[in-house]
Structures are given as structure tokens and as C-alpha cells.
Chains A and B, each alone.
Chain A
Amino acid sequence: EPEVTQTPSHQVTQMGQEVILRCVPISNHLYFYWYRQILGQKVEFLVSFYNNEISEKSEIFDDQFSVERPDGSNFTLKIRSTKLEDSAMYFCASTRERSYEQYFGPGTRLTVT
């Protein structure tokens, strides 16, 4: 069964550094999402992406964040200058067009020190 994959599984970075989190969505899916989950808290929506454009973003997704689909398979989340409060699990999800079911990847644990 096709799955969403994410790399790396764990990323440790120093405050102020840039990080890129990578995702490979399910191959026939056209909508892509990033969510984050701070330890012990609920999963929060960051951004959705379709047809090479951001379709929606939350207030969390400020200017330090950006997303890109650099090729036909990868979907990336870049955090330009990481802060301590960016420490969280970051989940990528994808879905088919005109579909409700979102399928999540295993996540990347980002630790900012």
C-alpha cells in the first residue's frame, strides 16, 4: 500500500539555522499539507499546497516558513531561522483531488537547541 514518507526522521539544529524537511507524498495525490505537533499537544495545520501554490496557511506559517515542490515527487518545508519554539514533530500529509481522506507520513522530529 502506498505511503507518505518523510526524511529525516530526526533533525537536531541550532537556533538561527535553516532546516529543510522533506516529504514524498503518495504518487497520485495532488494536495499536500504540513502539520506540526508540539510534544503532548494537538496536531496543528500549517499549510496546504496545490498546483504549485499555497492554497491555505495558518497564522503559525509566518515568513520564516516556506514550502516547495522542487520536482515531481518531493514536497519540502523550509524553516529559515529556527527558534526554540519550532521544536516539534512535523507531519506531511497528502490527498487525492476532490478527496477528504488525508494520509500522514511518519513525521520528522525537529529539535532546536
Chain B
Amino acid sequence: GENVEQHPSTLSVQEGDSAVIKCTYSDSASNYFPWYKQELGKGPQLIIDIRSNVGEKKDQRIAVTLNKTAKHFSLHITETQPEDSAVYFCAASGNFGNEKLTFGTGTRLTIIP
């Protein structure tokens, strides 16, 4: 089955700087890669996603890049703000929609004011 690795496990960034979180996946059949933000005591919130027919997607300060050949994808947050502090999870799923998500181990991002 699919295995998703995520690095780093913790990341501290000065407010205003950029943060990058990286994930690799094992199953070449995976085609959908979402990123979730989880704040303390809450459920995962979908913040951005990318499908395999696209190499990069951007939404304001957040971007995701995908390299299907190397089987890795990354989350980029620019101009970080204190409210970006949370745990971020990457995930992967298959080609047909409605399939289960396989999650990475999470990255605790702390923005230092």
C-alpha cells in the first residue's frame, strides 16, 4: 500500500519568513495530494491540494509543488504569520476520487513573532 513520509517533524520560522514542508510517497498510482492544517483540538482542515496533471498550484501565500517522477511534493508558505502555527499533514490518494487518504506523520510549524 501507499506510504507517505513527511519532513521535518518540527519547524520553527521567524514571522515573515518562508516555510517549506516536504513529503514523499511510494505508490506511483497516487494522483491526488492534499495538505491539511490541524490546530489544537480541531479536525484537519484542507488548505490546498494538487492533482498529478499539474506541477504547481498557488493560493495567496500558500503553494504546493509536485514532482511525479521523483514522487515528492512540497508545501510552501510565504510571509508567515503567527496564525500559521499549527500541525500540517500531507496526504496522498489514488486516481479515481473518493479514495482513502494516506497521511504523512505531520509537521509542527511554529512561527516566532
User: Is the beta-carbon distance between B36 and A104 smaller than 8 angstroms?
Assistant: yes
A-B contact count (CB 8 A): 62
Chain A residues with CB under 8 Å of B89's CB are 42-43
Interface string of A84-113 (1 = CB under 8 A from B): 000000010001011111111111000000
Which residues of B are in contact with A by a Cβ distance under 8 Å?
32, 34, 36, 41-46, 49, 51, 89, 91, 93, 97-106
Can you show 6 pairs from A to B with CB atoms below 8 A apart? A35-B101, A43-B101, A44-B103, A55-B98, A95-B97, A104-B46
User: Is the beta-carbon distance between A45 and B42 smaller than 8 angstroms?
Assistant: no
A97 and B105 CA atoms in complex are apart in Å by 28
Chain A residues with CB under 8 Å of B45's CB are 104
User: Is the beta-carbon distance between B46 and A31 smaller than 8 angstroms?
Assistant: no
User: Is the beta-carbon distance between A97 and B98 smaller than 8 angstroms?
Assistant: yes
**How big is the A interface, by class?**
20 to 34
User: Is the beta-carbon distance between B43 and A45 smaller than 8 angstroms?
Assistant: no
Task: Specify the chain B residue showing the minimal Cβ separation from A46.
Answer: B100
Chain A residues with CB under 8 Å of B49's CB are 100-101
Known contacts A100-B32, A100-B34, A107-B42: does B98 contact A45 (CB below 8 Å)?
no
Chain A residues with CB under 8 Å of B42's CB are 106-107
